[in-house]
């Protein structure tokens, strides 16, 4: 499991505690890798202390802040696992929803993603109206320019088969929030089916996404990816 974290000191320990509590009762082995993306608060220190008590939790940290896409790519390429679950540190999607994603990948889907707009999804605490409206408007752009048929590319709850995660994320070039739709575009380019799964979701305060600023950057990145074409999208990232 990969958890990107930027200045999450206020909630990282309760979230890790809940994850460990849940996975400790699971019938499979597991690890949790927290990627501290240049945090300037006590996020890394708290995760390191937690790891001392629970060795199945590990920390990757670096400075300076590079962006969520960089953090996720780092975790996907360095963390072990036959399956790699991505979850936001705020647990807006409760961790037990992973079983819905596992049910989907057991049906020959190497990628399964949580999706909020599906009719069967349960939004227990909704986003402010303006964020929800802008999110839906952005998804219209994603479907028009990038990935048809996917209703929610930006939900931070995704499961990848391990070797396929590595095949995808060695090609992901965006360091910002656009990595979500880039990774899914690459999965489609490589011919992998994507299962979109209804989930429970609760809005959490403290999102790092700035709707106007980051929305414009993601729109720019979406257009760039479309103009690149399949061949350039599939080129490995040059670090």
- For the record, the structure tokens of 76 come out as 């996907």
pLDDT score, position 199:
96
Closest CA to 62 of 51, 73, 54: 73
pLDDT score, position 81:
94
Q: Measure the CA–CA gap between 201 and 214, rounded to whole angstroms.
A: 22
> Can you give the pTM of this predicted structure?
0.91
pLDDT score, position 218:
84
pLDDT score, position 133:
65
99 to 21, 84, 226: CA distances (angstroms): 15, 13, 33
pLDDT score, position 15:
97
Q: What is the 3-state secondary structure (H, E, C) of 40-87?
A: CCCHHHHHHHHHHHCCCEEEEEECCCCCHHHHHHHHHHHCCCCEEEEE
235 to 38, 172, 173: CA distances (angstroms): 27, 9, 9
Per-residue pLDDT of the chain (239 residues; tens, 9 = 90+): 999 999 999 999 999 999 999 999 999 999 999 999 999 999 999 999 999 999 999 999 999 999 999 999 999 999 999 999 999 999 999 999 999 999 999 888 999 999 998 989 998 777 666 667 666 777 777 777 778 889 999 899 999 999 999 999 999 999 998 999 999 999 999 999 999 999 998 888 767 776 667 778 888 999 899 999 999 999 999 87
Closest CA to 219 of 114, 127, 140, 133: 140
pLDDT score, position 238:
86
């Amino acid at each position: 499991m990969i958890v990107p974290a930027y200045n999450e000191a206020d909630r990282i320990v309760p979230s890790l505690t809940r994850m460990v509590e849940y996975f400790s009762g699971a019938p499979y082995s597991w690890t949790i890798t927290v990627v501290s993306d240049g945090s300037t608060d006590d996020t890394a220190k708290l995760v390191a202390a937690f790891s001392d008590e629970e060795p199945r939790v590990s920390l990757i940290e670096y400075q300076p802040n590079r962006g969520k896409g960089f953090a996720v790519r780092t975790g996907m390429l360095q963390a072990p696992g036959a399956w790699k679950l991505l979850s936001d540190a705020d647990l807006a999607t409760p961790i037990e929803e992973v079983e819905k994603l596992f049910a989907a990948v057991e049906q020959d889907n190497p990628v399964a993603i949580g999706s909020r707009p599906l009719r069967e999804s349960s939004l227990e605490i909704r986003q402010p109206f303006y964020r929800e409206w802008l999110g839906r408007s952005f998804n219209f752009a994603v479907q028009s320019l990038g990935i048809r048929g996917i209703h929610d590319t930006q939900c931070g709850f995704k499961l990848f088969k391990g070797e396929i995660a590595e095949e995808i994320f060695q090609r992901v070039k965006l360091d910002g929030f656009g990595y979500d739709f880039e990774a899914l575009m690459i999965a489609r380019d490589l011919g992998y089916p994507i299962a979109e799964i209804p989930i429970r979701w609760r809005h959490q305060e403290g999102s790092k996404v700035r709707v106007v600023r980051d929305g414009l950057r993601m729109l720019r990145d979406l257009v760039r990816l479309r103009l690149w074409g399949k061949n350039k999208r599939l080129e490995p990232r040059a670090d």
